[in-house]
Structure 1
């Protein structure tokens, strides 16, 4: 893994510099700089709107009692897309824009989910049929109770 990351840290800047030189030769210096700034601003606004949609999807899944794993991983991909769009360069901007599209983002999120394993300390992960908000005990008994809120004004320390 380390050699791949090292290679990316060397190769990506070299590709970006060569693209800057080529685009700058065709368009000129100031239009090239303007194009980089424009992609950063447009990308940031797109990441914001896509992020809000993903957050709403997460909330909806939670209200249904489901685990929003796909949406959480898509949120991570959106963060990466935002970082790529804010990084100056045409290669990183193109990659970030591709990650903003719903289909590639979902595929990348599914790939990341397939590479992750869920482990807990002190035991294994158990799922219940009632969803994450099922408060049943292990032997099937459900505990129910009532509470009363008391006014704390009389018990304050002075």
Structure 2
């Protein structure tokens, strides 16, 4: 798996350069540059819109006390789309813009959710306060006056 990821990182710039050459020959230099710039602008606008929407859904999920699993997944894919938008090129723009479409994110979530196994673990820590414990009420506590405390300095 790591070989495929490393190979993908090596192949991506070569594919992007090849696509620049192909598109540049087909429509010319300035239209090619205009397409890259327009794709970045459109992607930034979509990223802002989708990102704010995900933040609102995340806030609602946390407020309702539900687990925001799907919302967190959407946020992760939107973050990945932002990384792809930073990379210049047509292939990365296509991947980024497709990750910003909610239906595509839903399809990816459904494809990956069937392979995920959720495991819940809890940890309990208990401490017995003995007679020599310095944290017993009234013992070992230091009360500071308002003038004795300096916030973070």
Alignment TM-score, normalising by the size of structure 2 = 0.74
Bigger-Rg structure (1/2): 2
Alignment of 1:71-82 (within 5 A): 71-82=71-82
Secondary structure in 2 matching 1:88: coil
**Partner of 1:157 in structure 2?**
147
Q: Deviations over 1:67-95 (max 9, x none)?
A: 11110111000011111122111111111
Alpha-carbon separation, structure 2, partners of 1:115 and 1:78: 21
Whether the 8 Å CA contact 1:54–1:71 is kept in 2: the answer is: yes
Alpha-carbon separation, structure 2, partners of 1:73 and 1:38: 27
Whether the 8 Å CA contact 1:84–1:93 is kept in 2: the answer is: yes
Alignment TM-score, normalising by the size of structure 1 = 0.71
Alignment of 1:67-106 (within 5 A): 67-106=67-106
User: Structure 1: which 4+ aligned runs deviate by more than 6 Å?
Assistant: none
Q: Deviations over 1:21-48 (max 9, x none)?
A: 1110111112211211111111011111
Q: Deviations over 1:38-69 (max 9, x none)?
A: 11111011111100001101111111110111
Alignment of 1:1-158 (within 5 A): 1-113=1-113, 124-125=121-122, 155-157=145-147
Structure 1 gaps of 5+ residues are: 127-154
Whether the 8 Å CA contact 1:70–1:113 is kept in 2: the answer is: no
